[in-house]
Amino acid sequence: MERKFLVAEPPSWLGDHPSEEIEQGYLAVGTNHEVRLRRSDGEELVLTVKTGHGEERGEQEIELSRDQFEALWPLTEGRRVHKRRHRVEGEPTLEVDVYLDGLEGLVTAEAEFPSAAASHEFDPPDWLGRELTDEPGYANQRLALHGMPG
């Protein structure tokens, strides 16, 4: 269970939280699935298959060797996002993505929940803005393919 929010004004304390640089590229995108590569801080190399959309999604990950990742990465040309992810610990932990390059200026936050009930009980802090969970234009795959939503 995930919920996503727009962060219009990132809090001044955001940089005090642990963060990592993420490069994500999409190998395949369908109406109900995506296959992506992710490089985190230049070290963690993962192939991920996600199914579903919105609040409930399935996810499978496989770690890749550097050679495997480098062989596949060129296939994502033109379908990538680059961001810095900050982890704001709490209940729930919030992952705040500050987008870079062509998406600079966009900041979103995601929260994961163990159940639909927990998701619906969440009272977002004031610094989280409009909810984006059901807005497909803000999904990372759409951002990679089409850029900033109009």
CB-based contacts of 45-51 (< 8 A; 24+ apart in sequence): 45/69, 47/72
Determine the pLDDT at residue 150.
76
Q: Are 7 and 129 in contact (CB under 8 A)?
A: yes
Q: What share of the chain is helix, strand, coil (3-state, %, to 5)?
A: 20, 45, 35
Q: Which of 3, 4, 26, 103 is catalytic?
A: 26
Work out the number of other CB atoms within 10 angstroms of the CB of residue 89: 9
CATH number listed for the domain at residues 2-146: 2.40.320.10
Segments of the chain with pLDDT less than 70: 53-56
Determine the pLDDT at residue 53.
66
Catalytic residue list contains 138: no
Q: CA-to-CA distance for 8 and 10, rounded, in angstroms?
A: 6
Question: pLDDT exceeding 70 applies to what percent of the chain?
Answer: 97
Q: Give, as one character, the DSSP assignment of residue 115.
A: S
What are the residues facing 97 on neighbouring strands? Answer: 85, 108
Determine the pLDDT at residue 97.
98
What are the residues facing 5 on neighbouring strands? Answer: 109, 131
Q: Tally the C-alpha atoms within 13 A of residue 108's C-alpha that lie toward its C-beta.
A: 22
- State the pTM of this model: 0.89
